[in-house]
A = this chain, B = another copy of it.
Amino acid sequence: MESEASYKKRKVISIGVVSQLTGLTERQIRYYEERQLIFPERTEKGNRLYSFFDVEQLIAIANKREDGVSTQEIKQEFSNEHSHNSKYRARNNELKGQIQAHFNKKNKY
């Protein structure tokens, strides 16, 4: 319950591989960093390094972007997830799910 986390959170993946893994362009990945959705580390020479966790976050971001969610909204959703009050979190997620499902229906058909 610790060793797995160390693999998941360790920042070791360069942007080219992350691009492959997520299907996002490097431009998009850098932009999401600029918007503070993702926080890579840097090598001594300045190259970005990401974790598997970051890759999963980016995939989640890509899915939300496809659903028309703005980076600003995504950022707020992420900060809500970080509030460690499970009651509020559950309530928020349920509500957001309904709102977003409704929104998607309106826009996809």
The digit string for A42-62, where 1 denotes a CB below 8 A from any CB of B, is 010000010010000000000
Q: Contacting A43 at CB < 8 Å: which of B8, B10, B13, B16?
A: B16
* Chain A interfacial residues counted at CB < 8 A: 15
Q: How far is the CA of A78 from the CA of B48 in the complex (A)?
A: 34
Partner among B3, B4, B13 whose Cβ is within 8 Å of the Cβ of A3 = B4
Q: Which of A4, A7, A20 has the most CB of B within 10 A?
A: A7
The reply on A38 being an interface residue by CB < 8 A is no
Nearest CB in chain B: distance from A55 CB, A: 8
Q: How far is the CB of A25 from chain B (nearest CB, A)?
A: 16
Bound Cα distance from A52 to B51, whole angstroms: 12
Q: How far, in Å, is A83 (CB) from chain B's closest CB? A: 25
Instruction: Note all chain B residues with C-beta closer than 8 A to A71.
Output: none
Q: Is A90 on the interface with B (CB-CB < 8 A)?
A: no
